[in-house]
Amino acid sequence: MDCKHVGKVVMLLGCMYSGKTDKLISYAEEAKTREEIVLAMKPRVDTRWGEERITSRTGRSISAITFSDAIDMQARVFKHLDSIPPSSRRPVNIVIDEAQFVPGISGAIRLFARMGFHVYIAGLSGDRDCKPWTSISDLIPICDSIEFLHARCKFCGGEASFTLMQRIALEKQKAGQIEIDDGKNYAPACRKCWEEKNN
What tens digit of pLDDT does each residue of 154-192 get? Answer: 999 999 999 998 754 455 554 444 556 555 688 999 999
CATH of the domain at 198: 3.30.60
Phi, psi for residue 170 in degrees, rounded to 5 = -65, -40
53 touches 62 (CB < 8 A): yes
CATH of the domain at 75: 3.40.50.300
**What is the pLDDT at residue 168?**
47
Same domain assignment for residues 111 and 163: no
Strands (E) located in the chain = 8-14, 37-43, 53-55, 61-63, 65-67, 92-96, 118-124, 145-149, 151-152, 159-160, 162-165, 186-189
- Of 103, 125, 121, which Cα lies nearest the Cα of 113? 121
**What is the pLDDT at residue 51?**
73
Residue ranges, the chain, pLDDT below 70: 1-5, 49, 167-184
185 contacts: CB under 8 Å, gap ≥ 6: 165, 166, 168, 169, 172, 179
**What is the pLDDT at residue 182?**
56
**What is the pLDDT at residue 49?**
62
Say what the pTM is.
Answer: 0.88
**What is the pLDDT at residue 176?**
47
**What is the pLDDT at residue 57?**
87
Task: Tell me the residue range of the domain where 40 lies.
Answer: 3-149
Same domain assignment for residues 140 and 190: no
Separation of alpha carbons 56 and 45, rounded Å: 16
**What is the pLDDT at residue 180?**
60
**What is the pLDDT at residue 89?**
75
Same domain assignment for residues 39 and 129: yes
Same domain assignment for residues 96 and 126: yes
Q: How many domains does the chain have?
A: 2
